[in-house]
Structure 1
């Protein structure tokens, strides 16, 4: 890891050129060719699992019906059949569709949304997929167009959407909401959460079908939550990911909810485990830091090593770190495409995979409702941008200074939408 001076030792930049760049923005395009799809929507890889049909993400996923049977084929007395669920979860789903009391088995927001629901008009056949988020059981249950999000081990409904029950709007934690996706620069033997943030991408949803992904140039010179000034990506070195989130909140004015962190090896493992990331590369890139690995232009599926190389390269790009941040956003958006195509049922498996290699301060309810919220996005209402600035110097360090372009981008993202 390249050393950086502590924030209290650095000097203020001087003779900084004016920032004349326009916001780096692009409206979401849906491009399908040779099996590759490129769409802007997002949350790092917390939703790109294809999910094996009928499979589970953890040991708590035994098949059961609402009356406690384990075959998954016998309907309950209320006419609700749930496959892939442990008995307590199946019983909860049965109460949901039968119009039963959910006062003590649902979150406040979900209870409010379900208060006026109607009982199911006929038999219900549902499928559950169960996984784990940092040790907490999570589940997604689908029945036709309905999706129910639940958190264990004492199962409760935390969100979802239920058109069959006459519920008008999805219950997904409201909006707007933002999460910070962090790529840690940790190498072998280094702590994942105490090294520089190699990737900083703010992912937002507005709660009304729109969203955005905003990259933060890692050399932005800003006040740090730990004190003093420094490059924005050094906040995690001095105070961990919570300090990194606090710094981003202060700089952008966005009330970022929390963070997800992945290292290089964890990122590659998730991508490879999920069969790669389908993406359309706009222009061939030679990854100088990865033995000149060539990422060719066009539709393709990137392996973990290729996706990492594409997301980290900056030396051969004409706009350097800004282009690198743009590429990172492209990878996130491409991963979100795969999530969108797999459907909400794939979320538990993806959260389980992330939990094995990543870190987060988001609760199971927060991540489950946020990830599911991505499936409510309209492709034409999601955009992306990169917070840029003018180049300058702080002592011997080359830095990027916040200017009008970045502040305009922050203001535009305050509704959770960059389209």
Structure 2
């Protein structure tokens, strides 16, 4: 079984709102928006594409002849997405009136276009049980994904008991922001705590998470140390492919870990990084199909263009320039007697360091 790339956004999958990215390259600033079918060009042949998409790609290669490319198609919340490859060139487009929104074209000496960096997205794992609505649940998994646009990136987990400002006023544990204000409320709270310009979010519950992992073929990763999950499920040490059931258990376990919730957040970051590695192995062509899978089981405020360019950014990362950490601190007591986490100086320093999109 194989792990698909967009499980990156789900595993912890997928993720970015309000960001339209960098302007398109000068040769791709417009695409057919009329009802007339563009005249096919013999200079550019795109297998798997309709005439409109072929015409949009042809504008990227204006003046070039003999271009042969292949398109893979998918959907993101009912919007069409496409990845078109020609040799090492990658063109990213969204429909229905196909428009090029990013990519990289070494054959043309064009700069990579994947949105203005640094970019951040919040991936939320709700504690909603299978077949239950996400509304009113807590954001028990909070992972901030960042890319710097220069080959670097990072994954920052947020301990769920961090004392934080809530949507509409007052303070509570950071994971309660989702219950008070949904995805947008959770993003606003994490922005205030971290100071990071998070673009948007992707959220899924227990059931959706497992289905995404299973439909993506499982999650290949190397587990450093055997973990007994939920008191009965054991994930052995070593290389393996985690099913949705085991990946969810690994992401949720805290009682058996010496550092409890902090260790759990670290496990969640490990899952994300494993998914990122698997994504690079799979190749960028499968992104549209996997976006379709995630789209079925996740809620998001990301447009197709934002999600497509953000996910594609993972294919431009240098693994040696990607780090991960957990925002945590000491234990305290809230005014109403709850046990809470008070952020420490090291976490606040990490927030400042992460502002460039890299850890």
TM-score between both structures, scaled by the size of structure 1: 0.76
The reply on whether 1:202 has 2:202 as its aligned counterpart is no
Distance, in Å, in 2 between the alignment partners of 1:163 and 1:186 is 44
The alignment partner of 1:375 has SS state of helix
Alpha-carbon offset, residue 91 of structure 1: 1.8
User: What is the aligned length?
Assistant: 333
Q: Is the 8 A contact 2:130 2:205 kept in 1?
A: no
Distance, in Å, in 1 between the alignment partners of 2:355 and 2:154 is 11
Q: Is the 8 A contact 2:164 2:174 kept in 1?
A: yes
Distance, in Å, in 2 between the alignment partners of 1:188 and 1:82 is 41
The alignment partner of 1:198 has SS state of strand
- Structure 2: which 5+ residue stretches go unaligned? 15-36
The alignment partner of 2:113 has SS state of coil
Give 2:247's aligned residue. Answer: 307
Give 1:231's aligned residue. Answer: 173
Give 1:149's aligned residue. Answer: 92
The reply on whether 1:388 has 2:352 as its aligned counterpart is no
Distance, in Å, in 2 between the alignment partners of 1:141 and 1:66 is 18
Give 2:42's aligned residue. Answer: 77
The alignment partner of 2:136 has SS state of coil
The alignment partner of 1:415 has SS state of coil
Larger Rg: 1
Q: Deviations over 1:18-54 (max 9, x none)?
A: xxxxxxxxxxxxxxxxx999xxx9544558xxxxxxx
Deviates more, 1:359-368 or 1:313-322: 359-368
Give 2:153's aligned residue. Answer: 211
Q: 1:281 to 1:36 in 2, by over 3 A?
A: farther
The reply on whether 1:130 has 2:73 as its aligned counterpart is yes
Q: 1:257 to 1:193 in 2, by over 3 A?
A: farther
Q: Deviations over 1:217-257 (max 9, x none)?
A: 00001112321010000001011110000000000000100
Q: Is the 8 A contact 1:42 1:203 kept in 2?
A: no
Alpha-carbon offset, residue 193 of structure 1: 4.0
Deviates more, 1:277-286 or 1:336-345: 336-345
Distance, in Å, in 2 between the alignment partners of 1:379 and 1:202 is 17
Match for residue 196 of structure 2 among 236, 249, 254: 254
Q: 1:349 to 1:363 in 2, by over 3 A?
A: same
Alpha-carbon offset, residue 181 of structure 1: 0.2
- Structure 1: which 5+ residue stretches go unaligned? 1-34, 48-64, 69-75, 100-118
Deviates more, 1:340-349 or 1:187-196: 187-196
Equivalent residues in 2 for 1:112-123 (5 A)? 119-120=63-64, 122-123=65-66
Give 1:405's aligned residue. Answer: 346
Q: Is the 8 A contact 2:46 2:69 kept in 1?
A: yes
Match for residue 160 of structure 1 among 103, 109, 115: 103
Q: Is the 8 A contact 2:166 2:180 kept in 1?
A: no
The alignment partner of 1:170 has SS state of strand
Match for residue 270 of structure 2 among 330, 333, 355: 330
Give 2:297's aligned residue. Answer: 357
Alpha-carbon offset, residue 381 of structure 1: 0.3
Distance, in Å, in 1 between the alignment partners of 2:222 and 2:130 is 31
Alpha-carbon offset, residue 124 of structure 1: 1.2
Q: Deviations over 1:245-292 (max 9, x none)?
A: 00000000001000000111111111111111000001111012xx51
The alignment partner of 1:256 has SS state of coil
TM-score between both structures, scaled by the size of structure 2: 0.89
For the aligned residues, what is the CA RMSD? 2.0
The alignment partner of 2:355 has SS state of helix
Runs of 4 or more, structure 1, over 3 Å off, are 41-47, 65-68
The alignment partner of 1:337 has SS state of helix
Q: Deviations over 1:96-129 (max 9, x none)?
A: 21x1xxxxxxxxxxxxxxxxxxx33x41110001
